[in-house]
Homo-oligomer: A and B are copies of this chain.
Protein backbone atom coordinates (compact mmCIF):
# COMPACT_ATOMS: atom_id res chain seq x y z
CA UNK A 1 0.00 0.00 0.00
CA UNK A 2 2.31 2.77 -1.26
CA UNK A 3 -0.21 5.45 -0.39
CA UNK A 4 0.70 5.09 3.22
CA UNK A 5 4.08 6.49 2.38
CA UNK A 6 2.43 9.81 1.72
CA UNK A 7 0.94 9.81 5.16
CA UNK A 8 4.42 9.91 6.61
CA UNK A 9 4.69 13.42 5.24
CA UNK A 10 2.20 14.37 7.95
CA UNK A 11 5.20 14.11 10.23
CA UNK A 12 5.83 17.80 10.32
CA UNK A 13 2.17 18.69 10.05
CA UNK A 14 1.59 18.32 13.79
CA UNK A 15 5.26 18.78 14.54
CA UNK A 16 5.26 15.24 15.82
CA UNK A 17 5.90 11.77 14.43
CA UNK A 18 2.99 9.44 13.90
CA UNK A 19 3.89 7.32 16.92
CA UNK A 20 4.33 10.51 18.92
CA UNK A 21 0.81 11.61 18.09
CA UNK A 22 -0.54 8.21 19.04
CA UNK A 23 1.45 8.19 22.27
CA UNK A 24 -0.20 11.51 23.10
CA UNK A 25 -3.61 10.02 22.35
CA UNK A 26 -2.95 7.05 24.62
CA UNK A 27 -1.64 9.36 27.33
CA UNK A 28 -4.88 11.35 27.17
CA UNK A 29 -6.82 8.15 27.76
CA UNK A 30 -4.77 7.48 30.89
CA UNK A 31 -4.75 11.00 32.28
CA UNK A 32 -8.49 11.39 31.77
CA UNK A 33 -9.08 8.18 33.65
CA UNK A 34 -10.72 6.45 30.68
CA UNK A 35 -8.10 3.76 31.24
CA UNK A 36 -7.96 3.22 34.99
CA UNK A 37 -4.70 2.54 36.86
CA UNK A 38 -4.04 -1.18 37.10
CA UNK A 39 -6.27 -2.10 34.16
CA UNK A 40 -5.12 -3.51 30.85
CA UNK A 41 -5.25 -1.45 27.68
CA UNK A 42 -6.44 -2.99 24.39
CA UNK A 43 -4.08 -5.42 22.67
CA UNK A 44 -1.50 -4.08 20.24
CA UNK A 45 -3.35 -5.55 17.28
CA UNK A 46 -6.63 -3.95 18.29
CA UNK A 47 -5.00 -0.55 18.75
CA UNK A 48 -3.14 -0.81 15.46
CA UNK A 49 -6.40 -1.52 13.69
CA UNK A 50 -8.21 1.28 15.55
CA UNK A 51 -5.59 3.86 14.58
CA UNK A 52 -5.07 2.37 11.13
CA UNK A 53 -1.34 1.88 11.54
CA UNK A 54 1.18 -0.95 11.52
CA UNK A 55 1.96 -3.04 14.57
CA UNK A 56 5.49 -1.71 14.85
CA UNK A 57 4.24 1.84 15.06
CA UNK A 58 1.78 1.24 17.87
CA UNK A 59 4.53 -0.63 19.69
CA UNK A 60 6.76 2.40 19.38
CA UNK A 61 4.03 4.62 20.80
CA UNK A 62 3.54 2.27 23.72
CA UNK A 63 7.30 2.20 24.30
CA UNK A 64 7.24 5.97 24.82
CA UNK A 65 4.68 5.69 27.61
CA UNK A 66 6.49 2.74 29.15
CA UNK A 67 9.59 4.90 29.25
CA UNK A 68 7.58 7.64 30.96
CA UNK A 69 6.41 5.14 33.53
CA UNK A 70 2.74 5.39 32.56
CA UNK A 71 2.44 1.89 31.12
CA UNK A 72 3.89 -1.49 31.95
CA UNK A 73 4.16 -4.42 29.56
CA UNK A 74 3.82 -8.00 30.75
CA UNK A 75 4.70 -10.79 28.38
CA UNK A 76 1.71 -12.96 27.51
CA UNK A 77 -0.70 -10.98 29.68
CA UNK A 78 -1.01 -7.52 28.25
CA UNK A 79 -0.08 -3.86 28.69
CA UNK A 80 -1.23 -2.22 31.93
CA UNK A 81 -1.71 1.29 33.24
CA UNK A 82 0.71 1.65 36.12
CA UNK A 83 -0.62 2.32 39.58
CA UNK A 84 0.66 5.45 41.29
CA UNK A 85 3.36 5.75 43.92
CA UNK A 86 2.58 4.29 47.32
CA UNK A 87 4.32 7.09 49.18
CA UNK A 88 6.32 4.74 51.34
CA UNK A 89 9.30 5.74 49.25
CA UNK A 90 10.31 8.60 51.54
CA UNK A 91 11.88 6.06 53.85
CA UNK A 92 14.52 5.39 51.22
CA UNK A 93 16.32 8.44 52.58
CA UNK A 94 16.62 7.18 56.11
CA UNK A 95 18.00 4.06 57.77
CA UNK A 96 16.62 3.77 61.26
CA UNK A 97 16.82 0.58 63.26
CA UNK A 98 19.77 -1.72 63.55
CA UNK A 99 19.57 -3.73 60.31
CA UNK A 100 19.18 -2.15 56.90
CA UNK A 101 16.65 -4.74 55.84
CA UNK A 102 13.56 -3.14 57.33
CA UNK A 103 12.01 -0.49 55.07
CA UNK A 104 8.81 -0.71 57.11
CA UNK A 105 6.01 1.84 56.81
CA UNK A 106 6.13 4.15 59.80
CA UNK A 107 2.95 4.71 61.80
CA UNK A 108 1.32 8.08 61.17
CA UNK A 109 0.10 10.40 63.90
CA UNK A 110 -1.84 13.42 62.69
CA UNK A 111 -0.88 16.41 64.81
CA UNK A 112 -3.15 18.89 63.05
CA UNK A 113 -5.18 19.34 59.90
CA UNK A 114 -6.86 22.57 58.89
CA UNK A 115 -7.92 24.59 55.90
CA UNK A 116 -5.70 27.60 55.22
CA UNK A 117 -5.14 30.38 52.73
CA UNK A 118 -2.16 29.63 50.47
CA UNK A 119 0.54 32.24 50.14
CA UNK A 120 1.89 33.17 46.74
CA UNK A 121 4.66 30.56 46.55
CA UNK A 122 2.43 27.71 47.64
CA UNK A 123 -0.50 28.69 45.44
CA UNK A 124 1.78 29.02 42.43
CA UNK A 125 2.98 25.47 42.92
CA UNK A 126 -0.58 24.23 42.63
CA UNK A 127 -1.41 26.50 39.73
CA UNK A 128 -3.87 28.44 41.89
CA UNK A 129 -4.26 32.18 42.54
CA UNK A 130 -2.68 33.64 45.66
CA UNK A 131 -4.97 33.27 48.63
CA UNK A 132 -6.66 30.13 47.31
CA UNK A 133 -7.66 27.57 49.90
CA UNK A 134 -5.49 24.60 50.80
CA UNK A 135 -5.19 21.88 53.39
CA UNK A 136 -2.28 22.08 55.84
CA UNK A 137 -1.43 18.85 57.62
CA UNK A 138 1.11 18.25 60.35
CA UNK A 139 2.13 14.66 60.86
CA UNK A 140 4.52 12.74 63.06
CA UNK A 141 5.72 9.31 62.01
CA UNK A 142 6.78 6.55 64.34
CA UNK A 143 8.89 3.43 63.94
CA UNK A 144 8.09 1.08 66.78
CA UNK A 145 8.06 3.29 69.90
CA UNK A 146 10.25 6.10 68.62
CA UNK A 147 9.20 9.26 66.79
CA UNK A 148 11.33 9.42 63.64
CA UNK A 149 9.99 11.93 61.13
CA UNK A 150 8.11 15.21 61.19
CA UNK A 151 6.05 16.14 58.16
CA UNK A 152 4.31 19.30 57.04
CA UNK A 153 2.03 18.68 54.08
CA UNK A 154 0.09 21.11 51.90
CA UNK A 155 -2.65 20.04 49.47
CA UNK A 156 -4.74 22.12 47.05
CA UNK A 157 -8.22 22.36 48.47
CA UNK A 158 -10.80 22.14 45.79
CA UNK A 159 -9.30 18.85 44.70
CA UNK A 160 -8.72 17.27 48.10
CA UNK A 161 -11.99 18.32 49.71
CA UNK A 162 -12.94 14.69 50.36
CA UNK A 163 -10.11 14.40 52.87
CA UNK A 164 -11.83 16.87 55.18
CA UNK A 165 -14.91 14.68 55.42
CA UNK A 166 -12.86 11.73 56.68
CA UNK A 167 -11.72 11.69 60.32
CA UNK A 168 -7.90 11.57 60.44
CA UNK A 169 -8.14 8.41 62.53
CA UNK A 170 -9.31 6.60 59.42
CA UNK A 171 -6.58 7.91 57.15
CA UNK A 172 -4.16 5.07 57.70
CA UNK A 173 -0.39 5.34 57.43
CA UNK A 174 -0.01 6.22 53.76
CA UNK A 175 -1.24 9.41 52.13
CA UNK A 176 -1.10 8.48 48.46
CA UNK A 177 -3.43 5.49 48.51
CA UNK A 178 -5.81 7.73 50.44
CA UNK A 179 -5.57 10.44 47.79
CA UNK A 180 -6.43 7.76 45.26
CA UNK A 181 -9.43 6.26 47.02
CA UNK A 182 -10.88 9.44 48.53
CA UNK A 183 -10.04 12.05 45.89
CA UNK A 184 -9.39 10.00 42.78
CA UNK A 185 -5.88 11.39 42.46
CA UNK A 186 -3.04 9.20 41.19
CA UNK A 187 0.39 10.32 42.31
CA UNK A 188 2.62 9.49 39.40
CA UNK A 189 5.87 11.34 40.01
CA UNK A 190 7.65 13.20 42.77
CA UNK A 191 10.73 15.40 43.00
CA UNK A 192 12.61 15.34 46.27
CA UNK A 193 15.18 17.92 47.29
CA UNK A 194 17.45 17.24 50.24
CA UNK A 195 19.07 19.90 52.39
CA UNK A 196 20.42 20.04 55.84
CA UNK A 197 19.94 22.28 58.90
CA UNK A 198 19.48 22.06 62.65
CA UNK A 199 16.21 21.42 64.48
CA UNK A 200 14.17 24.20 66.04
CA UNK A 201 13.21 23.74 69.68
CA UNK A 202 9.63 22.58 69.01
CA UNK A 203 10.74 20.18 66.30
CA UNK A 204 13.43 18.71 68.51
CA UNK A 205 11.02 18.08 71.34
CA UNK A 206 8.54 16.34 69.03
CA UNK A 207 11.32 14.05 67.79
CA UNK A 208 12.85 13.46 71.23
CA UNK A 209 16.13 14.88 70.00
CA UNK A 210 18.31 17.55 71.61
CA UNK A 211 17.72 21.16 70.64
CA UNK A 212 19.67 22.26 67.54
CA UNK A 213 20.33 18.65 66.57
CA UNK A 214 21.35 18.26 62.89
CA UNK A 215 18.49 17.20 60.64
CA UNK A 216 17.94 16.33 57.02
CA UNK A 217 15.10 18.12 55.28
CA UNK A 218 13.40 16.51 52.30
CA UNK A 219 11.25 18.90 50.28
CA UNK A 220 8.87 17.04 48.01
CA UNK A 221 6.78 18.17 45.07
CA UNK A 222 4.37 15.41 44.00
CA UNK A 223 2.55 15.37 40.66
CA UNK A 224 -0.51 13.63 39.28
CA UNK A 225 -0.82 11.89 35.92
CA UNK A 226 -1.40 15.18 34.14
CA UNK A 227 1.77 16.68 35.59
CA UNK A 228 0.00 19.06 37.98
CA UNK A 229 1.53 19.52 41.42
CA UNK A 230 -0.85 18.08 44.00
CA UNK A 231 1.31 17.98 47.11
CA UNK A 232 4.06 19.96 48.75
CA UNK A 233 5.69 18.19 51.67
CA UNK A 234 8.46 19.02 54.10
CA UNK A 235 9.93 16.04 55.93
CA UNK A 236 12.48 16.36 58.73
CA UNK A 237 14.48 13.55 60.31
CA UNK A 238 17.69 12.89 62.21
CA UNK A 239 20.60 13.69 59.90
CA UNK A 240 22.69 10.89 61.30
CA UNK A 241 20.11 8.38 60.09
CA UNK A 242 20.25 9.78 56.57
CA UNK A 243 21.65 7.58 53.82
CA UNK A 244 21.04 7.89 50.12
CA UNK A 245 22.50 6.20 47.07
CA UNK A 246 22.66 7.83 43.64
CA UNK A 247 23.70 6.24 40.40
CA UNK A 248 25.65 8.48 38.04
CA UNK A 249 25.15 7.61 34.38
- Chain B residues with CB under 8 Å of A198's CB are 214
- Chain B residues with CB under 8 Å of A246's CB are 191-194, 244, 246
In the complex, are the beta carbons of B190 and A248 less than 8 A apart? yes
The answer, yes or no, to whether A188 is at the interface (CB within 8 Å) is yes
Task: State the majority secondary structure of interface residues on A.
Answer: strand
In the complex, are the beta carbons of A240 and B197 less than 8 A apart? yes
In the complex, are the beta carbons of A243 and B193 less than 8 A apart? yes
The answer, yes or no, to whether A118 is at the interface (CB within 8 Å) is no
The answer, yes or no, to whether A189 is at the interface (CB within 8 Å) is yes
Q: Which of A152-166 contact B (CB under 8 A)?
A: none
Q: Copies of this chain, how many?
A: 2
A contact residues, range: 20 to 34
Question: Which of A85, A196, A197, A243 has the most chain B CB atoms closer than 10 A to its own CB?
Answer: A196
The answer, yes or no, to whether A9 is at the interface (CB within 8 Å) is no
- Chain B residues with CB under 8 Å of A248's CB are 85, 89, 189-192
The answer, yes or no, to whether A195 is at the interface (CB within 8 Å) is yes
Cα distance A89–B192 in the bound complex, in angstroms = 19
**Measured between C-beta atoms, what is the minimum distance from A160 to chain B in Å?**
20
Cα distance A89–B244 in the bound complex, in angstroms = 16
- Chain B residues with CB under 8 Å of A216's CB are 196
The answer, yes or no, to whether A247 is at the interface (CB within 8 Å) is yes
Cα distance A59–B191 in the bound complex, in angstroms = 33
In the A-B complex, the 7 residue pairs with the closest CB atoms: A190-B248, A196-B239, A214-B214, A192-B246, A194-B244, A193-B245, A196-B242
